[in-house]
Amino acid sequence: MKALISGVEQVFDGHWSSLAYLNWEQIENRACGEKTVDIAALKSITTYNESEEKDIFKRFWRVFEDMFTEE
């Protein structure tokens, strides 16, 4: 229970009263982050041990880009 309380305090910077103004979706978003993935941002921070031009990496991004958020 202490870990749960500590986590909530970190997410809300110790301002428990702000929970009263948020619905469950807003609390989930604040705690877990956005549900959508910014593929361009992800690509920009991705590092490769080999050439990013390898077919396996190209296939990965092609499949990843074609996925729906739910997948």
pLDDT tens-digit profile of 38-70? Answer: 888 888 999 888 887 788 889 999 998 888 766
pLDDT value at residue 9: 77
Residue % of the chain over a pLDDT of 90: 8
Residues 58 and 40 in one domain: yes
Taking residues 17-25, what's their average pLDDT?
A: 79
**Whether residue 42 sits in one domain with residue 65:** yes
CB-CB neighbours of 22 under 10 Å: 13
Q: Which residues, in sequence order, are CB contacts of 45 under 8 Å at separation 6+?
A: none
Task: Provide the residue range defining the domain that includes 53.
Answer: 36-71
> How is residue 1 annotated by DSSP?
-
Q: Both 50 and 28 in a single domain?
A: no
Domain match, 42 and 23 both: no
How many domains is the chain built from?
Answer: 2
57 with 70, same domain: the answer is yes
- Are residues 68 and 42 located together in one domain of the fold? yes
Q: Which pLDDT score is estimated for 14?
A: 66
Mean pLDDT of the chain: 81
